[in-house]
Amino acid sequence: MINEQVAQKLETQFPGAVIVQEEPVEDCIMLTSDQWQDVAKFLRDDPELKFDSLQCITGVDLGDENPMDVRYNLHSMSLLHKIEIRIPVKKDNPTIPSIEKIWRIGDWFEREVYDMYGIRFEGHRDLRRMLLPEDWEGWPLRKDYETPQTYHGMVVPKVKS
Amino acid sequence: MGYLEHKFEDNIIVTKLDKLLSWARSTSPWYFQFGLACCAIEMMAAAASRHDLERIGMMPRSSPRQADVMIVAGTVSIKMAERVKRLYDQMADPKYVIAMGSCATSGGPYWQHGYHVLKGVDLIIPVDVYIPGCPPRPESLIEGLIKLQEKIRGERPLTKEKDA
Ligand code: SF4
């Protein structure tokens, strides 16, 4: 029930930051992206929370008209509890504040999500592609991605005849 | 040793220079030491003590300038493909390529949906021997290398090529 406790705490601290859902999801906290940087700092520094370890950032394309999700897994090394944060972002021109300065590990995590989903992390100091070549076009893990026919003259999707 | 030492008079061996050259090449094809994915683990195992590639004259070299054989061991991602081609171009002639594993042969598990995988390294460089398997065991790799040695031994580098 750590998620509910943290959600309540955040609601009192940052009114409007938590998205209340019709059917409450137990294993995560839904947030809006507006105050995300302040919320993240709070999560890291509050003596009762102390989420000092960002373990993963995941992008999710939920398909069709749904917004995309960015999901953060946080863990506290000293208090040994963990939560998951989910923040929906718009599909056209998706942006979200970067937390790369709050948890330094977020640097490469965010670059990877950017590489695969094209979600721009605003305030990231070096937002480049992580795995794919710099001049690659498109965001491969989006559901509507079309594999290019060629890249620098090499055939990409074709099965050899 | 021992059996052969100090047993012979001064002697003459008669052979064709052509044959001698290809024999020499075939018995010491040094390979380029680099791996791209999981297949490279099997290549390392083949080079280590149990299978010991140096038995058949194969020694890893870390520079393309000193290597004769390029063992493409693993998945060739499209980003890597250009580097592989450049490394191949840097090797000195005569040079040979072995496509080890189904990834290097045809794209392997990424054959259908891998947006980032080259569907076979032979799309960018010429391949001499293909070794199937995911990954091939060291025995398969060694068999492939022996096949390559047979191929090299059959070459006649000095003879004029006949017009077809
Ligand atoms: S063929 Fe199989 S073992 Fe070899 S690199 Fe590809 S996936 Fe890995």
Nearest atom (ligand 1) to Cα of B42: 3
Across the range A11-27, mean pLDDT stands at 79
Q: Which of A6-20, A49-63, A122-136 has the lowest mean pLDDT?
A: A6-20
C-alpha span between A49 and A53 (Å, rounded): 11
Say which of A140, A145, A155 has its CB closest to residue B123. A155
C-alpha span between A24 and A5 (Å, rounded): 13
For tokens 């209340």, the residue is A20
B81 has a chain A CB within 8 A of its CB: yes
Across the range B45-58, mean pLDDT stands at 90
Give percent of chain A with pLDDT exceeding 70: 96
State the smallest CA–CA distance between residue A12 and chain B in angstroms: 46
Q: Is the pLDDT of residue B25 over 60?
A: yes
Q: Is the pLDDT of residue A160 over 60?
A: no
Q: What pTM does this model have?
A: 0.81
C-alpha span between B150 and B141 (Å, rounded): 14
Residues with CB under 6 A from ligand 1: B 37-39, 74-75, 101-103, 108-109, 134-135
Q: Which of residues 123-152 of A touch B (CB under 8 A)?
A: 131-133, 140, 145, 147, 151-152
Give percent of chain A with pLDDT exceeding 90: 36
* pLDDT tens for each residue of A54-94: 999 999 998 888 889 999 999 999 999 889 999 999 888 89
- pLDDT, averaged across chain A: 87
Q: What is the DSSP string of B68-100?
A: SEEEEES--BHHHHHHHHHHHHHSPSS-EEEEE
CA of B105 to the centre of ligand 1 (A): 10
Task: Locate the chain A residue with the closest alpha carbon to B121.
Answer: A154
Q: Is the pLDDT of residue A161 over 80?
A: no
Task: Locate the chain A residue with the closest alpha carbon to B83.
Answer: A133
Q: Is the pLDDT of residue B127 over 90?
A: yes
Contact flag B82-A152 (C-beta cutoff 8 Å): yes
| Domain range list for chain A | 2-155
C-alpha span between B135 and A141 (Å, rounded): 27
Using left for φ > 0, alpha for ψ between -120 and 50, and beta otherwise, residue B120 falls in left
Contact flag A140-B106 (C-beta cutoff 8 Å): no
Complex ipTM value: 0.73
B79 has a chain A CB within 8 A of its CB: yes
* pLDDT tens for each residue of B70-119: 999 999 998 999 999 999 999 998 899 999 999 999 888 888 778 888 88
Q: Is the pLDDT of residue B1 over 70?
A: no
- pLDDT, averaged across chain B: 88
Contacts of A159 in chain B (CB under 8 A): 107, 111-112, 119
- Residue A144: band (very low, low, confident or very high) from pLDDT cuts 50, 70, 90: confident
Task: Identify the bridge partners of residue B110 per DSSP, sorted by sequence position.
Answer: none
Q: Span A2-155: which CATH code?
A: 3.30.460.80
B8 has a chain A CB within 8 A of its CB: no
Q: Is the pLDDT of residue B38 over 60?
A: yes
State the smallest CA–CA distance between residue B90 and chain A in angstroms: 20
